[in-house]
C-alpha cells in the first residue's frame, strides 16, 4: 500500500517535471505559430486574447515572406554554407584527431586541452581582424567569406570530440589490421573510422548547427542581400527601422526551426553517444 | 597476394611511416587554424595597439596602450564587464541545475520518448538571431502574452502587486533586461547541456543504482550521494560550453536590448561590436574584445583543474 502510493507519487513527479520542461521549451514556438497566422487587426489589438484567433487566420504573411523578401535566397545560402562547412570540418578534423591520438606520439594524446583552448577564442574576439583578412582576400559580401571562417568554430570542437573517440579505441584492432597487411592509412579508413561514427555523426550535426547559428560573422562580413544567410538576412529584411513584420518574422523562424528540431530530435540518442567516447569501443 | 596487400605494398612508401603520415594528416588542420585563428588573434592584439579605423584599416601608427586606457576610462566598460560576468554566472547556475534535473527524467524509459525529445531540443534548433526575435516578440512592450497572463491573474495592471502599469517593459529596464537575457540564454542552451549531462548520466553503471535501491536509499539521497558526484567531470564540460556560448554571444543583445537603456544592459562582445563596427573604431573594439580572453582562460584553467581533481578522487 505504502509502496503503491510512493510509486504513484514518483510517476506524478516525473510527468509534472516533464510537462514543465516541455512547456518551457515549446512556449515561445507556440506563440510564434499563433502569431504567424494572425491578421494585423487581430495581432495589434491589445483587448484581444493573444492566444486565440479573434479574426480568421491568414496565410498572407507567409506568402509575403516568399514573394516580397529574399527568404528563399537566405534559406538556400544557409543550406549551402552549412553543407560546405560540414565537409570542410570533417576533412580537417577527422584526420587531425586520428593523427593526434595515434601517430604523433605522447604529446598528441594530451593535446585535448590545447585544442580546447583554440575553441576558447570566441568569434567576438576574432571578427575584427578576420574582417581585414576577408577584405584582403576580396571575399567580403560573398558566402565564401562565411564558408572560410565558420570552420574556425567547428574544427577545434570536432577535433576535441573525435580525439576522445580515437583515444578510447583499443589499439589491438588496428594492430591486427596492420599484421593482416593493411597500411596505416587503410587501417584508419577501414577499422578506426567506422568505430568513430557516433562521434562523426555528432560532428556533422554540430558543424551544421553552429554554422547556422552564427550571427556575428554573418552580420559583419556580408552586407549584400543575395549572399546573406538566414541568421542575418531574415532580421534585416523584416525589421525595417522601427517597423517589425512580426508575422513574417515568426513564420520564417518556424519554417527553419521545426524541421531542424525534428531532425535533431530524432538524432537525440546519437548526440548523447557523441559525448560518450568510452561507450563506442 | 590479396588485393589489399598489393595496394598496401604500393602505398607502403608513404603510409607505413606513421610519423610522416601523422604529420600529413595533422597539417591541414594546423595550417588552417594558424592562418584563421592564430594570426588573427595576433592581429587583434596588433589592432588594439594601433589607431586603425574601418575607413583606414592599416596598422600605420603604434599607439601603445592608449586604446586600453580609453576603454578602461569609458564608463560603459565596467558595466559591460559586470553584466557579462553576472549573466554568464546566472545562466550557468540555472542551466546546470535544470540540465541535471532534466537528464534525471530523460535517463528513464517512458512513452513517446522521441516526441518529448523533439519538443525539448526545439530551442537549440532555432538559429540564435531568430530565437532572439522570437523572444523579442514574446516579451514585447505592448503585446507580450506574458504580460497579458499577468494582468489576467491580477499580478500586473491596476490594483496588481506589480504596479498599476499593464506592461513590464522587459527590455527597457536594467535588471529586468539582464534577467530576460539570462532567461533566453538558459532556454536556448538547456537542450545541449541536458544532452551532455545525459552522456554522463547514462554511462553510470546500472548496478550502482540497483544497489542503492536494495539499500533503501530514496530518490534525493541517490541523486545527491551517487548521481551528482559521478556527474562532476561531465558538469565541468557543460560549464565550459555554456560559459563560452553565453560570454561570447552578441546576437541576443543585438536583437533585444541593444545594451540599453543607456549602457545599463551592455555586454562585452556587443560593446566591441558597437565600437569596432558601428562606431568604426576597429582598434578600440579590438581592445574591448581582448579583455574577454584572460577571463575565459582563467575560467577554463579553473574548470580543468577542478575536473582533474574530481577525476582523481
Looking at residue A18, what is its pLDDT?
94
Looking at residue A55, what is its pLDDT?
86
Q: What digits encode the pLDDT tens for the residues A84-124?
A: 999 999 999 999 998 888 777 667 666 777 777 787 788 88
Asked if B302 reaches chain A (Cβ–Cβ under 8 Å), the answer is: no
CA distance A251 to A110: 47
Looking at residue A252, what is its pLDDT?
93
Q: CB neighbours of B221 closer than 8 A, spacing ≥ 6?
A: B212
Contact B208, A84 (CB under 8 A): no
Model confidence at B16: pLDDT above 50 = no
Contact B237, B308 (CB under 8 A): no
What fold does the segment set B66-312 form as a domain? Answer: MetI-like fold (1.10.3720)
CA distance B147 to B155: 9
Query: Helices B66-73 and B282-290 meet at what angle, rounded to 10?
Result: 70
- Partnered with residue B62 across adjacent β-strands are B50
Q: CB neighbours of B47 closer than 8 A, spacing ≥ 6?
A: A128, A129, B59, B282, B283, B286
Confidence of residue A33 (pLDDT cuts 50, 70, 90): very high
What are the backbone dihedrals phi and psi of residue A55, each rounded to the nearest 5 degrees, phi first? -120, 160
Enumerate the domain spans of chain B. Answer: 1-48, 66-312
Confidence of residue A1 (pLDDT cuts 50, 70, 90): low
Looking at residue B1, what is its pLDDT?
39
Residue of A26, A159, A186 with shortest CB distance to B4: A186
The CATH number of residue A159's host domain is 1.10.3720.10
- Residue A162, in any domain of the structure: yes
CA distance B40 to B137: 37
Higher pLDDT residue, A150 or B170?
A150
Confidence of residue A258 (pLDDT cuts 50, 70, 90): very high
Looking at residue A22, what is its pLDDT?
95
DSSP, res A188 = I
Residue B149 in grid coordinates: 497572463
Looking at residue A263, what is its pLDDT?
93
- Residue A214, in any domain of the structure: yes
Residue of A103, A117, A155 with shortest CB distance to B19: A103
Q: What digits encode the pLDDT tens for the residues B75-123?
A: 889 999 999 999 999 999 999 999 999 999 999 889 899 999 999 999 9
- Least confident segment among A180-194, B60-74, B148-162, B168-182: B148-162
Q: CB neighbours of B38 closer than 8 A, spacing ≥ 6?
A: none
Looking at residue B181, what is its pLDDT?
93
Model confidence at A40: pLDDT above 50 = yes
Contact A64, B164 (CB under 8 A): no
- Residue A253, in any domain of the structure: yes
- Residue A47, in any domain of the structure: no
CA distance A150 to chain B (A): 10
Confidence of residue B57 (pLDDT cuts 50, 70, 90): low
Chain B residue with CA closest to A101: the answer is B22
What are the backbone dihedrals phi and psi of residue A239, each rounded to the nearest 5 degrees, phi first? -120, 105
Longest CA pairwise span in chain A (Å) = 78
Model confidence at A209: pLDDT above 70 = yes
This prediction's pTM: 0.89
What are the backbone dihedrals phi and psi of residue B74, each rounded to the nearest 5 degrees, phi first? -75, 120
Is B117's CB within 8 Å of A268's CB? yes
CA distance B121 to chain A (A): 6
| Burial state string for B185-222 with b = 16 or more CB within 10 A and e = fewer than 16 | bbbbbbbbbbbbbbbbbbbeeeeeeeebeeeeeeeeeb
Provide the residue range defining the domain that includes A96.
Answer: 63-280
- Partnered with residue A239 across adjacent β-strands are A244
Is B28's CB within 8 Å of A95's CB? yes
Average pLDDT of the residues in B289-311? 77
Is A126's CB within 8 Å of B240's CB? no
Confidence of residue A83 (pLDDT cuts 50, 70, 90): very high
Higher pLDDT residue, A201 or A278?
A201
Please count the other Cβ atoms lying within 10 Å of the Cβ belonging to residue B121: 25
- Least confident segment among B13-17, B240-244, B261-265: B13-17
Is B123's CB within 8 Å of A31's CB? no
CA distance A246 to A63: 14
Residue of B22, B124, B269 with shortest CB distance to A264: B124
Q: What digits encode the pLDDT tens for the residues B195-249?
A: 999 999 988 888 888 888 888 888 888 888 888 888 888 888 888 888 888 998 8
Q: Looking at this predicted complex, what is its ipTM?
A: 0.90
Amino acid at each position: 500500500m505504502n509502496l503503491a502510493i510512493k510509486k504513484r507519487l514518483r510517476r506524478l513527479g516525473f510527468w509534472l517535471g516533464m510537462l514543465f520542461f516541455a512547456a518551457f521549451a515549446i512556449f515561445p514556438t507556440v506563440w510564434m505559430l499563433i502569431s504567424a497566422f494572425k491578421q494585423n487587426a487581430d495581432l495589434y489589438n491589445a483587448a484581444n486574447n493573444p492566444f486565440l484567433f479573434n479574426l480568421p487566420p491568414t496565410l498572407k504573411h507567409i506568402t509575403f515572406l516568399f514573394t516580397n523578401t529574399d527568404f528563399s535566397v537566405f534559406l538556400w545560402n544557409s543550406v549551402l554554407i552549412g553543407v560546405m562547412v560540414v565537409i570542410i570540418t570533417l576533412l580537417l578534423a577527422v584526420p587531425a584527431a586520428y593523427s593526434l591520438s595515434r601517430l604523433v606520439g605522447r604529446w598528441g594524446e594530451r593535446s585535448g586541452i590545447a585544442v580546447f583552448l583554440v575553441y576558447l577564442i570566441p568569434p567576438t574576439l576574432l571578427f575584427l581582424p578576420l574582417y581585414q583578412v576577408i577584405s584582403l582576400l576580396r571575399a567580403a559580401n560573398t558566402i565564401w567569406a562565411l564558408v572560410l571562417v565558420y570552420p574556425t568554430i567547428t574544427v577545434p570542437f570536432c577535433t576535441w570530440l573525435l580525439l576522445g573517440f580515437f583515444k578510447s579505441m583499443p589499439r589491438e584492432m588496428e594492430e591486427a589490421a596492420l599484421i593482416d597487411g593493411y597500411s596505416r592509412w587503410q587501417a584508419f579508413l577501414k577499422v578506426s573510422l567506422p568505430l568513430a561514427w557516433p562521434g562523426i555523426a555528432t560532428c556533422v550535426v554540430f558543424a551544421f548547427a553552429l554554422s547556422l547559428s552564427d550571427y556575428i560573422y554573418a552580420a559583419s562580413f556580408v552586407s549584400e542581400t543575395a549572399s546573406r544567410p538566414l541568421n542575418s538576412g531574415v532580421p534585416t529584411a523584416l525589421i525595417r527601422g522601427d517597423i517589425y513584420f512580426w508575422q513574417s518574422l515568426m513564420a520564417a523562424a518556424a519554417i527553419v526551426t521545426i524541421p531542424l528540431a525534428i531532425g535533431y530530435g530524432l538524432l537525440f540518442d546519437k548526440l548523447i553517444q557523441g559525448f560518450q567516447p568510452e561507450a563506442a569501443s | 597476394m590479396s588485393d589489399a596487400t598489393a595496394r598496401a605494398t604500393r602505398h607502403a612508401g608513404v603510409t607505413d611511416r606513421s610519423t610522416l603520415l601523422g604529420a600529413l594528416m595533422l597539417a591541414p588542420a594546423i595550417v588552417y587554424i594558424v592562418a584563421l585563428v592564430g594570426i588573427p588573434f595576433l592581429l587583434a592584439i596588433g589592432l588594439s595597439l594601433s589607431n586603425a579605423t574601418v575607413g583606414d584599416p592599416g596598422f600605420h601608427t603604434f599607439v601603445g596602450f592608449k586604446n586600453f586606457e580609453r576603454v578602461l576610462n569609458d564608463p560603459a566598460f565596467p558595466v559591460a564587464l559586470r553584466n557579462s560576468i553576472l549573466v554568464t554566472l546566472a545562466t550557468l547556475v540555472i542551466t546546470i541545475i535544470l540540465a541535471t534535473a532534466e537528464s534525471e527524467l530523460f535517463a528513464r524509459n517512458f512513452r513517446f520518448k522521441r516526441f518529448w525529445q523533439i519538443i525539448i531540443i526545439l530551442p537549440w534548433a532555432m538559429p540564435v538571431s531568430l530565437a532572439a526575435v522570437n523572444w523579442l516578440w514574446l516579451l514585447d512592450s505592448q503585446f507580450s502574452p506574458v504580460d497579458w497572463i499577468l494582468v489576467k491573474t491580477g499580478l500586473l495592471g491596476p490594483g496588481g502587486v506589480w504596479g498599476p502599469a499593464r506592461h513590464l517593459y522587459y527590455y527597457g529596464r536594467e535588471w529586468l533586461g539582464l534577467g530576460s537575457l539570462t532567461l533566453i540564454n538558459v532556454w536556448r542552451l538547456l537542450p545541449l547541456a541536458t544532452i551532455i549531462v545525459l552522456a554522463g548520466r547514462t554511462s553510470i553503471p546500472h548496478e550502482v543504482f540497483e544497489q542503492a535501491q536494495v539499500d533503501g536509499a530514496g530518490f534525493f539521497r541517490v541523486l545527491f550521494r551517487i548521481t551528482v558526484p559521478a556527474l562532476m567531470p561531465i558538469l565541468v564540460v557543460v560549464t565550459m560550453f555554456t560559459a563560452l556560448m553565453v560570454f561570447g554571444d552578441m546576437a541576443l543583445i543585438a536583437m533585444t536590448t541593444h545594451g540599453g537603456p543607456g549602457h545599463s544592459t551592455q555586454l562585452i562582445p556587443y560593446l566591441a561590436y558597437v565600437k569596432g563596427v558601428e562606431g568604426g573604431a576597429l582598434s578600440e573594439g579590438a581592445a574591448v574584445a581582448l579583455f574577454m580572453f584572460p577571463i575565459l582562460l582563467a575560467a577554463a584553467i579553473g574548470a580543468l583543474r577542478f575536473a582533474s581533481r574530481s577525476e582523481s578522487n
